Amino acid sequence: MSQSARIKIAKRIAQELSDGEIVNLGVGIPTLIPDYLGDKKVYLQSENGLLGMGPTPEPQQVNMDLISASKKPITMEIGASLFDSSDSFVMIRGGHIDVAVLGILQVDEFGEIANWSVPGKDVLGVGGAMDLVAGAKKIILASTHQAKDGSPKLVKKLTYPTSGGKKANMLVTEHAVFTFSNKGVELVEILSDISLEELQKITGANFTISQELIRN
């Protein structure tokens, strides 16, 4: 997965975020989004206890007691607040986070997410993934279209363990934007020069095509 493809996904998701929203960004591609928000102001929540997360500090300003959930040094923006882990998950579980942008292992055609455990591998970490899935008002998934082995991420039925019953609203890959509803998954936008046939070939679920399909 090239960096340009990752940036393309981050840029497209940045467009989905609205001024003033409270947003939690998962690890990986989601962490690139703040660079592409332009004039839009969103408030980033970090589940280890900060609302108002700012960019990476200069090396001489690094304090490893001011870190992101990925344990990377960060800064605080004007108006930031600090709180403990239980308050942080009041925000997350209690439905106070407008948008969670999450990475995935798989998502099914109704938007059910698998993003914490690979069958047959050691399952020794879940972190805040299930709390975010259960509690965020809106879930946007950021992912490459296919896994490293070429298998599709958007599948008919999950083969990886589910992260919970709550469904995602949108999936953005380097090729396309999909939205989910109880009717299934719909292709709303094509982001690369891929043909519809090719896209269908590398996708594991049947999707409907929006009447207003956008091709960039």
Partner 1 sequence: MKKFIQSSDILKLIKDGDTLLVGGFGLSGTPLTLIDEIASSSLKNLTVVSNNLGEPGKGLGKLLLSGCLKKAVGSYFTTNRDAIKAWKEGHLEIELIPQGTLAEAIRCGGAGIGGFYTKTALGTKIGEGKEVKEIDGEKYILEKAIKGDVSLIKAMKADTLGNLVYEYTARNFNPVMATASKIVIAEVDEIVEAGTLSPYEIVTPHVYVDYVVASHYVKVGGVYVESISPD
- For partner 1, the binding residues (CB under 8 A) are 46-50, 61-67, 69, 71, 73, 76, 82-86, 88-89, 92-93, 117, 122-131, 134-135, 161-166
Gap between the Cα atoms of 105 and 163, Å rounded: 10
Shortest spacing between CB 81 and partner 1, in angstroms: 11
The pair of structure tokens assigned to 75 is 């800064």
Shortest spacing between CB 169 and partner 1, in angstroms: 17
Q: What are the two backbone dihedrals, phi and then psi, of residue 65, each rounded to the nearest 5 degrees?
A: -105, 10
Nearer to partner 1, 16 or 54 (CB): 54
3-state secondary structure of 138: strand
Gap between the Cα atoms of 105 and 113, Å rounded: 8
Length of the chain: 216
Gap between the Cα atoms of 143 and 140, Å rounded: 10
Nearer to partner 1, 29 or 129 (CB): 129
Q: Which helix (H) or strand (E) holds 39?
A: none
Specify whether the CB–CB gap between 181 and 153 falls below 8 A. no
Residues in CB range of 36: below 8 A, 6 or more apart? 7, 10, 11, 14
Nearer to partner 1, 19 or 58 (CB): 58
Shortest spacing between CB 162 and partner 1, in angstroms: 5
Shortest spacing between CB 63 and partner 1, in angstroms: 4
In which residue are the tokens 């039925």 written? 157
Shortest spacing between CB 68 and partner 1, in angstroms: 8
> Which are the catalytic amino acids?
47
Nearer to partner 1, 24 or 203 (CB): 24
Nearer to partner 1, 74 or 205 (CB): 74
Q: Which helix (H) or strand (E) holds 32?
A: none
The pair of structure tokens assigned to 186 is 């719909």
